[in-house]
Amino acid sequence: MKMKWLVCFATLLLFTVALISPRLSQPVQANPDPAPIVHQVDQSKYAGSKVCAKCHTTYYDTWKDSAHNKMIRPAIFRGRNKNVQADFSVADPNRPCEMKDVKWVIGHRWKQRFIGVVNGEEVVFPGQWSIKEKKWQSYTAKSDWWYPKHPDWKTRSNFNLCAGCHSTGVDPKAKTWTEQNITCESCHGPGKAHSDKPAIQNIVNPSRLSTERSMDVCLSCHQAGKPDAEEFAWPVGFQPGQKLADYWHGFEPEAGKQTAEFWTNGTAHKNRVQGNTFSHSKMHGAGIQCSNCHDSHGSKFTSMTLKAPSTNALCNTCHGPGKSVGPDYKSITDHTHHAVSSTGSQCISCHMPKTGENSVGAEARDHTFNFISPKISIGKKTPNSCNLCHSDKTPEWALEQVQKWYPKLR
Ligand code: HEC
Ligand code: HEC
Ligand code: HEC
Ligand code: HEC
Ligand code: HEC
Ligand code: HEC
Ligand code: HEC
Ligand code: HEC
Cα–Cα distance between 152 and 155 in angstroms, integer? 6
349 CA → ligand 7 middle, Å: 13
Distance (Å, rounded) from C-alpha 141 to C-alpha 127?
10
C-alpha to C-alpha distance for 296 and 35, rounded to whole angstroms: 22
CB count, 10 Å around CB of 171? 13
- Tell me which of 274, 291, 319, 354 to substitute to probe ligand 7's pocket, judged by most ligand atoms within 8 Å of the beta carbon: 274
**Separation between Cα atoms, residue 179 and residue 168, nearest integer Å:** 5
Alpha-carbon span 73 to 105, nearest angstrom: 6
Tell whether omega for the bond before 327 is within 30 degrees of 0, i.e. cis.
Answer: yes
CB of 325 within 6 A of ligand 5: the answer is yes
**271 Cα–ligand 2 center, Å:** 9
pLDDT, residue 14, reads 41
Beta-sheet strands, E only, within 45-155: 72-74, 104-106, 111-118, 121-124, 127-130, 135-138
CA nearest neighbour of 351 among 364, 336, 370, 375: 370
The H or E element that residue 349 is part of is: helix 347-351
pLDDT of residue 40: 67
- 7 Cα: distance to centroid of ligand 5 (angstroms): 44
The number of beta carbons lying within 10 Å of the beta carbon of residue 187 is 22
Tell whether ligand 5 has an atom less than 6 A from the beta carbon of residue 280: no
Cross-strand partners of 262: 268
Buried b / exposed e along 130-152 (16+ C-beta atoms within 10 A) = bbeeeebeebebeebeeeeebee
Atom of ligand 5 nearest to the CA of 348: 35
**Minimum CA distance residue for ligand 3 atom 41:** 184
Query: Measured between alpha carbons, how far is 282 from 275 in angstroms, rounded to an integer?
Result: 13
**pLDDT tens digits in sequence order for the chain, 410 residues long:** 344 444 444 444 444 433 333 333 333 343 445 444 445 688 899 999 999 999 999 999 999 999 999 999 999 999 999 999 999 999 999 999 999 999 999 999 999 999 999 999 999 999 999 999 999 999 999 999 999 999 999 999 999 999 999 999 999 999 999 999 999 999 999 999 999 999 999 999 999 999 999 999 999 999 999 999 899 999 999 999 999 999 999 999 999 999 999 999 999 999 999 999 999 999 999 999 999 999 999 999 999 999 999 999 999 999 999 999 999 999 999 999 999 999 999 999 999 999 999 999 999 999 999 999 999 999 999 999 999 999 999 999 999 999 999 998 86
CA of 327 to the centre of ligand 6 (A): 6
Among protein residues, the one with the nearest Cα to ligand 5's atom 1 is: 292
**Residue 167 alpha carbon to ligand 4 centre in Å:** 12
Give the SS3 label for residue 367: coil
pLDDT tens per residue, range 100-118:
999 999 999 999 999 999 9
Q: Which residues on neighbouring strands pair with residue 122, listed in sequence order?
A: 117
- Which residues have C-beta atoms less than 6 Å from ligand 4? 67-68, 70-71, 107-109, 165-166, 182, 186-187, 217-218, 220-222, 290-291, 294, 296, 303-304
Cα 251 from Cα 275, distance rounded (Å): 10
151-163 confidence digits (pLDDT tens): 999 999 999 999 9
Phi first, then psi, for residue 180 (nearest 5°) are -80, 155
Name the burial class of residue 385, with classes exposed (0-12), middle (13-18) and buried (19+) by CB atoms within 10 angstroms of its CB: buried
Determine the distance separating the centroid of ligand 4 and the alpha carbon of 320, expressed in angstroms.
28
Residue 173 amino acid letter: K
Task: Identify the pLDDT of residue 1.
Answer: 37
Q: What one-character DSSP code corresponds to residue 147? A: G
Regarding the beta carbon of 318 and ligand 5, being less than 6 Å apart is answered yes
The residue among 126, 125, 134, 130 whose CA lies nearest residue 103 is: 125
Residue 314 and residue 365 in contact, taking contact as beta carbons nearer than 8 Å: no
Looking at residue 27, what is its pLDDT? 33
> CB under 6 Å to ligand 1: residues?
22, 47, 51-52, 54-56, 184-185, 188, 191, 194-195, 198-200, 203, 205, 208
Residue nearest to atom 6 of ligand 7 (CA): 290
